[in-house]
A and B are shown apart, each in its own frame.
Chain A
Amino acid sequence: MSDSNNAHNVSYLDYKGQYKGLSAWIFSTDHKRIGLLYLYTMLAFFSVGAILGLLMKTELIAPGATIMGPKAYNALFTLHGIIMIFIIVVPGLPAVFGNFFLPIMIGAKDVAFPRLNLLSWWLYVIGILIVLTSQFLGDGPPDTGWTFYAPYSFQTPANVLPAVFGAFVMGFSSILTGINFVVTIHRMRAPGMTWFKMPLFPWTLYGTAWIQILATPVIGITLLLIVAERLLGIGIFDPALGGDPILYQHLFWIYSHPAVYIMILPGMGVISEIIPVFSKKTIFGYKAIVLSTMAIAFVGYFVWGHHMFTSGMSGRALYTFSFLTFLVAIPSAIKVFNWVSTMHKGSLDMQTPFYWAVSFIFVFMIGGLTGLVLGSLATNVHVHDTHFVVAHFHYIVFGGTGYAFMAALHYWFPKMFGRMYDLGWANLGWGIFFIGFNALYLPMFFLGMQGMPRRYYDYLPDFHGGNIISSLGAWVMISGIIIIFANLIRSARHGKKTTQKNPWGGKTLEWQVETPPTLENFEEIPTIEKGPYHFGE
């Protein structure tokens, strides 16, 4: 090996392996390159999903058919849901930043199974391609919503089969990533890094990986049953043959509720990394954050019924699911208190990642507290299947995971690319995005309480006012996204070069390696003596 190509002193971006050009990326088993592969795939599909969302909001700017009819609208919200859930937020933070930073943060050279890791990305891309065929082949795009509820999902003539099967393949990818991370964390921590000296982002990835392993097979078999139902007519969910559609809903949410925690837990991990660094203070209540992470991962399995309060369940089941749902609020609130206490009396360094982290706390609280409105039985019946629900889960999934993703991107960007983005444009993009986001989703809470149902292209004239604000908010938010992405993409290619190891003054291991990291991350595996957030008070 020539010296200029030594794995210890060449950046992972410049390393020349046995492949060249595009192949050097799509066949690379380097966890950092795989992380970027996920990032690029996601940014591409996020743009598609966001445009679909924008089209829907534009349709809703006035009652009646504005730019599309009911069929197109049904197809749009289905595809928007499938893209945003299965392609973006479920793999989301673990696949991009988990792949890139988990090994570095625990002092390892790679994940436990690098080739399996590459296979995960390939399965993910194959799954996406299968899903996409549903749009162009057969009798029109699926119109079931991303939930594929029985019995409609096997009665509609639309091309549901590839969408369902694609989601199944992506589930495989998710399981393999989960297995990879659990084994990596168990086997590859640097000497001296005990469980309670592990940084919080790896901790949340650990909780998430367990949910990926234990919940994803349930959706796998459920989707396979839908496939069998459509192809063979086995009757398991078909009332005409004796099956029970409500059983489908149970099986679906047994996965899909824990999946919400697959989405949000790594986001909480990112925020727990950023807050102490920009407050220049040790994180408040490290163990409480760790334990609340595991508590959320655990309790999250037993709350799925709250998606089905109006589907028909025994009274006792209703109380139990409602009670357990309230229980999840406790560990979530513990985290919020920890973040706020960390900032208290800290010397705050107001930078872009910190803006994203603080606004995360703000929108996450709105999303979380409105979740309690939905979790209590009486109010749930009133707002079930209205725009209130849509607003709530966008505040959590987009407000929570989305903000955390942006925070992570702005926090780790200089490390990943060895270049710095323009801070002014980044802050402006954040500001416009934040205003647009709230203008878009806040009115939906009021519309929902007034009774505007979700998933219709049309509405009563009474709801017009709120919808105008909401649709205009969508346009503002998209402008913000364009500024943010344009700034980051330009900076990744032409931004100011930096080899500074630690631009923000972080204490975790990724700030002690080269910028950008070398192929093997560490010349010598470090020995860990202190906890991850020692700011020397």
Chain B
Amino acid sequence: MIEHRDDLASKMGMWLFIFTELLLFGMLFVVYAVYRSMHPEAFKLASEELDVVLGTFNTVILLISSMTVAMSITSIQKGNKKLAMTLLIITLVIAVVFLVNKYFEWGSKFEYGFNPGGEELLQLGHGTILFFGLYFVMTGIHAIHILIGVGLFIYVLLQLRKDKIHQTDYIWLENTGLYWHLVDLIWIFLFPLLYLIH
């Protein structure tokens, strides 16, 4: 069959997929709002246990990675394959750094027994249990998205190297960029909800 190509359709499909992701996290935000209104004091105290410095650092590097992936798209549009690949590799490295930070952050929570079902946690009030339950679920699902992003970046890099993605056909890179902005955007909401609101 003749290969049918419609970049606008691909982008539209990606936007619809982004809708579904927003709804998925949207429901978690609803659950968060319900429990926060039920236990405002406990949520405030529990959120002070989180590492704001590490969270801020992760927010900053994630924002930078959104910029580098956007720059990578512009580079390929201008036909600069090498620059596009370099920028994409920077994005990839940042994604990995984000996950490493997350690992250490989670690790310290486990150390203090604040993991779901952890001994320390179960001795605390309902509000605290719910806060940490939500913290792990929300950042956990977000981390899975980062991981998928890493996979996508590797795939796109390989395609770029083989010239399957080039100046006139870069929809894969563009959609991966869209996906990455979504992952970034969700973090922009998670960060204040979990770390900052007091």
Contacts and interface: CB of A to CB of B under 8 A. Distances in A.
Contacts of A225: 31, 137
B137 A236 contact: yes
Given A186-B12, A221-B27, A243-B130, A233 B20 contact: no
Contacts of B17: 175, 179
Nearest to A186: B12
Contacts of A216: 20
Given A232-B117, A234-B136, A214 B23 contact: yes
A113 B137 contact: no
A217 interface: yes
B130 A241 contact: yes
B28 A221 contact: yes
A519 interface: yes
Interface in A478-495: none
A180 to B, nearest CB: 7
Interface size class of A (residues with CB under 8 A): 35 or more
Contacts, number: 103
Contact of A183 (B9, B117, B133): B9
Nearest to B12: A183
Given A183-B13, A247-B34, A213 B19 contact: yes
A218 interface: yes
Interface residues of B, number: 36
Given A187-B12, A225-B137, A235-B116, A251 B27 contact: yes
Nearest to B117: A233
B19 A235 contact: no
B53 interface: no
A218 B6 contact: no
Interface in B148-174: none
A235 B130 contact: yes
A244 B127 CA distance: 12
A285 to B, nearest CB: 30
Interface string B105-140: 000000000001100001001110110011011000
Nearest to A116: B13
Secondary structure class of chain B's binding surface, majority of residues: helix
A218 B130 contact: no
Contact of B127 (A178, A182, A214, A242): A242
B19 A214 contact: yes
B51 interface: no
Which of B16, B24, B125 has the largest number of chain A CB atoms within 10 A? B16
A348 interface: no
B137 A234 contact: yes
A242 B125 CA distance: 8
Contacts of B8: 187
A177 to B, nearest CB: 12
A113 B13 CA distance: 9
Contact of B27 (A113, A218, A232, A235): A218
A109 B24 contact: no
B145 interface: no
A229 to B, nearest CB: 9
B126 A242 contact: yes
B13 to A, nearest CB: 5
Contacts of B41: none
Nearest to A254: B27
Given A221-B28, A242-B127, A244-B34, A109 B4 contact: yes
Nearest to A29: B1
Given A242-B125, A242-B127, 8 more contacts: A109-B1, A175-B17, A183-B13, A187-B6, A188-B9, A214-B23, A234-B136, A247-B34
Interface of A: 7, 109-110, 112-113, 116, 175, 178-180, 182-183, 186-188, 213-214, 216-218, 220-222, 224-225, 228, 232-236, 241-244, 247, 251, 254, 519-520
